[in-house]
Amino acid sequence: MTFKNKTLGILGGGQLGKMTAIAAKKLGYHTFLYCPKGDNPAEYNVNEYIYGNWDDNKKLELFGSKVDVITSEFENIPAKTLNNLSKITKVYPSSFCFSIAQFRNKEKEMAAKSGFLVPKWYRIKSLEDLIKYSKILNHDCILKTNSLGYDGKGQINISSEIDFKKIWNEINYDDCILEEKINFDREVSILYAKSLNESECFFPLSENHHENGILKHTIAPTILEQELEIKLKLTVKKFAKLLNLKGLLTIELFQRNNDFIFNEIAPRPHNSFHWTIEGCKNSQFDILVKSIMSQNINDQVVSAKWKMINLLGDEVENLKLFNFHKDQKIHIYGKKEIKNGRKMGHITYPI
């Protein structure tokens, strides 16, 4: 049974919330945004919005009472907030999904349980831990905060010449992960969706290229040998089942020969699948909305190859430099403040 003439609640006012709202409107749903006051481009694409912090229980209760289902645009919304909202209305993906995605140790443990290869890693809670386990990993590793890291933030490369005390003070976080560096052929991401009505969907894989820890461009579809693709999809579905997923799940992976090594998950729309807006009959945002509104979904296919390039920082002020293709589509998010490395928009075109 689908939620006809229903209201979709969106947590978070960034570009993913904006593009989710655009998809929901197109599909005939009313949209209601909840986010802290700030630079929120999604405000201009929803029917209603309310400002509030993630611990403002009174405002969250009011928001929850006015919507039929809630989804989140980024994974650092406190799981406690989502859990409280789930007592008032439906929340997908669930607070459990987010409680796993918010902590690197938890997602790595679940990835291993699902059958993914996972880099060697150690939990680091002190300078002594850092020195001890860096030695075990031959000083060829990366120190990452266990939570709240994204787009390369909260990560420091470790080498034998490093000043450990300085690094520990620099990261300034008492719960970290130390992870072996992986030599890989390429970085890929896979996107899976599960509807409330149990129908499911895979998108063609994306190949990703980063600069300074931030996604710079994606090329899709990435073609795999059939046997490899079948095996990978079965592992993704096992992960999704452990999460009891409803909605979207992106998994970022390192490919080395025929092996896929787990990096991280995101239970939300993902930058590396923005090309689906032009490239697929249903974009990742359409599929998110359909899945949490209990509509039928199915595997998405492409008839062309696509490239998506992120516009970072002041690149958004020099759009004349980005003239790649007569059919290119430029998406400007509408953020007011330009910061170095901040995602301000993206360009998609067939290649």
pLDDT bin (cut points 50, 70, 90) of residue 3 is low
- 1 pLDDT more than 70: no
What is the distance between the alpha carbons of residues 312 and 314, in angstroms, rounded to a whole number? 6
Q: Mark out the alpha helices in 72-225 (DSSP H runs).
A: 79-86, 95-101, 104-114, 127-136, 164-171
Q: What are residue 193's phi and psi, to 5 degrees?
A: -135, 145
pLDDT bin (cut points 50, 70, 90) of residue 213 is confident
SS3 state of residue 243: helix
Can you read off the two tokens belonging to residue 296?
Answer: 């039928």
Strands (E) in the chain, as ranges, are 7-11, 30-35, 48-51, 69-72, 90-91, 121-124, 141-145, 155-158, 176-180, 186-194, 200-202, 205-211, 214-222, 247-256, 259-266, 306-312, 329-332, 343-350
Compute the Cα dihedral for 36, 37, 42, 45 and give only its sign. Answer: positive
Q: What mean pLDDT comes out for the span 186-214? A: 97
pLDDT of residue 126: 96
Map out the domains of the chain as residue ranges. Answer: 7-100, 120-180, 186-350
pLDDT tens per residue across span 100-142 = 999 999 999 999 999 999 999 999 999 999 999 999 999 999 9
DSSP code for 204 = P
pLDDT bin (cut points 50, 70, 90) of residue 347 is very high
Look up the CATH number of domain 7-100.
3.40.50.20
pLDDT of residue 4: 58
Cβ within 8 Å of residue 137, ≥6 positions away: 120, 122, 158, 178, 180
Q: Mark out the alpha helices in 139-283 (DSSP H runs).
A: 164-171, 226-243, 276-279
DSSP code for 279 = H
pLDDT of residue 151: 65
pLDDT of residue 272: 98
Identity (one letter) of the amino acid at 189? S
Strand arrangement of the beta sheet that strand 176-180 belongs to:
121-124, 176-180, 141-145, 155-158
CA distances to 243, 280, 337, 344 from 319, rounded to whole Å, are: 41, 25, 17, 12
Interstrand relation of 90-91 and 121-124 (parallel, antiparallel or unpaired) = unpaired
Q: What mean pLDDT comes out for the span 224-244? A: 97
pTM: 0.95
Least confident range of 4-13, 18-27, 132-141, 299-308:
4-13
- 2 pLDDT more than 90: no
Cross-strand pairs, 71? 10
One of 3.30.1490.20, 3.30.70.260, 1.10.10.60, 3.30.160.40 is the CATH number of 120-180, namely: 3.30.1490.20
pLDDT tens per residue across span 38-76 = 999 999 999 999 999 999 999 999 999 999 999 999 988
pLDDT tens per residue across span 133-182 = 999 999 999 999 999 877 667 899 999 888 999 999 999 999 999 999 99
- Which of the two residues, 320 and 101, has the higher pLDDT score? 101
pLDDT tens per residue across span 259-283 = 999 999 999 999 999 999 999 999 9
Q: What mean pLDDT comes out for the span 326-342? A: 95
- 200 pLDDT more than 70: yes
Q: What are residue 264's phi and psi, to 5 degrees?
A: -165, 170
Interstrand relation of 141-145 and 155-158 (parallel, antiparallel or unpaired) = antiparallel
Q: Mark out the alpha helices in 87-225 (DSSP H runs).
A: 95-101, 104-114, 127-136, 164-171
Q: What mean pLDDT comes out for the span 214-230? A: 96
Angle at 275 between CA 41 and CA 232, to 5 degrees: 120
What is the distance between the alpha carbons of residues 287 and 24, in angstroms, rounded to a whole number? 10
Burial class (CB in 10 A: 0-12, 13-18, 19+), 234: exposed
pLDDT of residue 49: 98
Can you read off the two tokens belonging to residue 6?
Answer: 């229903």
CA distances to 49, 318, 338, 351 from 334, rounded to whole Å, are: 17, 15, 10, 27
Average pLDDT score over the chain: 95
Superfamily grouping for domain 186-350 = ATP-grasp fold, B domain (3.30.470.20)
